[in-house]
């Protein structure tokens, strides 16, 4: 039987993937106080790129050092040196592997460890573990600044050697905060109707396309839904996707959920959805009848059989994997050469279900650290240790950065 996963895919812009495997974005949290890619980033992406994927998506590349998802984020601003980024991208290019930059702004999801006062579409606070402040609504000038920062970062990344960009409008980040009526209470041209709430995303794409040209891939990561009552839902998503298609984006990554409802990690999903692996495949499959944008679905794929079936049914074009890259040293090569048919998820024992997402995030961050330090994966951490890992790490890095200011 043909391994469709190992067949190439060509985009209308001319870019070609050597197979259908994409490493989806996972925030690295490896930067020092300069927020530049370093030796750990190079080691991490050298490991991933030589294992056979067609494209690697970077973790969050933030457009504003004042509003970070993590104190260890990579940041691009007007005064950022490009040399460290060129070293990073050259690590990947030697393996005939695309490297696309995921460009982000955390908005109200900037934790207190990195940001004293966050910004958002409106002043709706993220209430999770007491880690986030009530945001200040962006002014008209502030919104224009955000748009310009996204466009500048996209231009910078092209010059630095990235072969595509992705604008992160999912998972409760700032662009998703504008899209959702739960977090966007504005009454001006940036709020109210869906067209107004999506305006910031459309402006970023339109301006970036003029700067980047028609042959440079532009992708958007968008929620199929936020999975919150009254939030950004599937009908909203379909309408935004139609507008993205009209703007000629090259790849749409479908995901879902926010920090408050972690559907992207399978948390809160029905067991039937988890068992069929791809959490957002039904939405993508329905979208196929209405949309011609090449589709990538991220979330839940763990077996070669499920991956092949989705491609065979033409429900998507490329598959985004994230955690499998942290479960096996041979992923995705084992899928591509047929020597592995499934990656097994480690069991993380945590007593309080409320801490499950924190424990899982901490566990996988530890795996990223191990690869970045040229150490083998380790899957037997105690639940309490992984649950505390990220708060301790963010506190330590935040204090370090404060001392170095």
Spell out a b/e string for 343-361, using b for 16 or more CB atoms within 10 Å of the CB, else e: beebebebeeeebbbbbbb
% of the chain surpassing 90 pLDDT: 78
> Cα(338)–Cα(310) distance, rounded to whole angstroms?
17
Matching residue, tokens 């042959």: 215
Backbone angles phi, psi at 104, to 5 degrees: -140, 160
**295 pLDDT band (50/70/90 cuts)?**
very high
Strand partners, 319: 21, 297
Q: Residue 109 has what DSSP assignment? A: G
pLDDT digits (tens, 9 = 90+) for 168-226: 999 999 999 999 999 999 999 999 999 999 999 999 999 999 999 999 999 999 999 87
Confidence class of residue 92 from pLDDT cuts 50, 70 and 90? very high
At 129 the pLDDT is 60
Per-residue model confidence (pLDDT) at position 167: 98
Gap between the Cα atoms of 70 and 221, Å rounded: 19
- pLDDT at position 61: 98
- Model confidence, pTM: 0.93
Query: pLDDT at residue 5 above 80?
Result: yes
Question: What's the 3-state SS for 165-215?
Answer: EEEEECCCCHHHHHHCCCCCCCCCCCCCCHHHHCHHHHHHHHHHHHHHCCC
Check whether 272 has a pLDDT greater than 50.
no
Residues 6+ apart with CB under 8 A from 148: none
Q: pLDDT at position 345, please?
A: 87
pLDDT of residue 180: 96
pLDDT grade, residue 268 (50/70/90)? Answer: very low
- According to DSSP, residue 303 is labeled B
**Which H or E run contains 298?**
strand 295-298
Residue 254 pLDDT greater than 60, yes or no:
yes
Identify which of 157, 171, 192, 200 has the alpha carbon closest to the alpha carbon of residue 299.
171
Tell me the sheet residues that pair with 318: 296
pLDDT confidence band for 404 (50 / 70 / 90): low
Is the pLDDT at 260 greater than 70, yes or no?
no
Segment 335-344 mean pLDDT: 93
CA 141 to chain centre: 27
Rounded Cα–Cα distance for residues 40 and 370 (Å): 10
Mean local confidence (pLDDT), 337-344: 93
Phi, psi of 23 (to 5 degrees): -80, 110
Mean pLDDT over each residue of the chain, to the nearest integer: 91
The pLDDT > 70 percentage for the chain reads: 93
Over residues 151-160, mean pLDDT:
98
First to last CA, the chain: 58
Rounded mean pLDDT, 345-354:
83
Instruction: Give the pLDDT band (50/70/90) at residue 230.
Output: confident
Give the single-character DSSP code of 111.
B
Greatest Cα-to-Cα distance within the chain, rounded to the nearest angstrom = 59
Q: What is the mean pLDDT of residues 309-325?
A: 95
The domains of the chain, with CATH numbers, are: 4-347 (3.20.20.70)
User: What is the structure's pLDDT at 262?
Assistant: 47
Rounded-to-integer distance, Cα 145 and Cα 142, Å:
5
For the stretch 362-401, pLDDT in tens is 999 999 999 999 999 999 999 889 999 998 998 888 777 7
Mean pLDDT of 102-124: 93
Contacts of 364 (CB under 8 A, 6+ apart): 26, 323, 326
- Cα–Cα dist 395/167, whole Å: 28
d(CA 234, CA 283): 8
- Tens digit of pLDDT for each residue in 12-58? 999 999 999 999 999 999 999 999 999 999 999 999 999 999 999 99
Which pLDDT value is given to residue 273? 44
Q: What is the per-residue burial (b if ≥16 Cβ within 10 Å, else e) of 306-332?
A: bbbbbbeeebbbbbbbbbbbbbbeebb
Q: Is the pLDDT at 276 greater than 90, yes or no?
A: no
pLDDT higher than threshold 90 for residue 263: no
Rg of the chain over Cα atoms, rounded to whole angstroms, equals 20
Q: Report d(CA 354, CA 44) in Å as an integer.
A: 30
Q: Which two tokens stand for residue 235?
A: 């009908």
**Confidence bin at 351 (pLDDT 50/70/90):** confident
Nearest residue to 341 via CA among 302, 298, 297? 302
Residues near 271 by beta carbon (within 8 Å), at least 6 away in sequence: none
Burial annotation 201-221 (CB, 10 A radius, 16+ → b, else e): bbbbbebbbeebeeebbbbbb
Residue 127 has pLDDT above 90, yes or no: no
pLDDT at 223: 94
Host H or E run for residue 247 = none
């Amino acid at each position: 039987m043909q391994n469709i996963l190992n067949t190439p895919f060509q985009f209308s812009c001319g870019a070609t993937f050597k197979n259908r495997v994409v490493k989806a974005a996972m925030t690295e949290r490896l930067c020092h106080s300069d927020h530049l890619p370093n030796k750990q980033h190079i080691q991490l992406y050298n490991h991933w790129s030589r294992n056979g994927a067609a494209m690697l998506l970077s973790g969050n590349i933030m457009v504003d050092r004042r509003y970070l998802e993590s104190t260890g984020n990579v940041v691009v601003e007007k005064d950022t040196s490009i040399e460290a980024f060129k070293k990073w991208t050259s690590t990947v290019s030697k393996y005939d592997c695309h490297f696309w930059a995921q460009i982000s702004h955390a908005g109200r999801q900037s934790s207190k460890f990195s940001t004293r006062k966050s910004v958002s579409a409106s002043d709706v606070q993220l209430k999770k573990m007491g880690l986030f402040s009530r945001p200040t609504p962006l002014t008209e000038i502030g919104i224009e600044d955000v748009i310009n920062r996204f466009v500048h970062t996209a231009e910078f990344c092209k010059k630095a050697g990235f072969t595509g960009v992705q604008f992160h409008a999912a998972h409760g980040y700032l662009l998703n905060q504008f899209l959702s009526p739960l977090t966007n209470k504005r009454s001006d041209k940036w709020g109210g109707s869906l067209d107004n709430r999506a305006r910031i995303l459309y402006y970023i794409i339109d301006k970036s396309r003029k700067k980047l040209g028609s042959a440079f891939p532009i992708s958007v990561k968008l929620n199929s839904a936020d999975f919150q009552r009254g939030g950004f839902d599937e009908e909203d998503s379909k309408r935004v996707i139609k507008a993205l298609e009209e703007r000629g984006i090259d790849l749409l990554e479908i995901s879902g959920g926010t920090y408050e409802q972690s559907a992207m990690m399978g948390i809160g999903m029905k067991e039937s959805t988890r068992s069929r692996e791809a959490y957002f495949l039904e939405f993508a499959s329905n979208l196929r009848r209405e949309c011609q944008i090449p589709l990538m679905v991220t979330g839940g794929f763990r077996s070669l059989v499920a991956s092949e079936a989705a491609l065979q049914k033409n429900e998507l074009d490329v598959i985004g994997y994230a955690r499998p890259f942290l479960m096996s040293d041979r992923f995705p090569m084992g899928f591509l050469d047929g020597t592995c048919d499934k990656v097994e998820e480690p069991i993380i024992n945590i007593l309080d279900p409320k801490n499950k997402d924190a424990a899982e995030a901490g566990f996988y961050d530890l795996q990223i650290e191990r690869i970045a330090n040229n150490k083998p994966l380790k899957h037997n951490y105690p639940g309490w240790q992984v649950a505390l890992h990220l708060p301790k790490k963010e506190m330590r890095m935040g204090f370090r950065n404060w001392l170095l200011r």
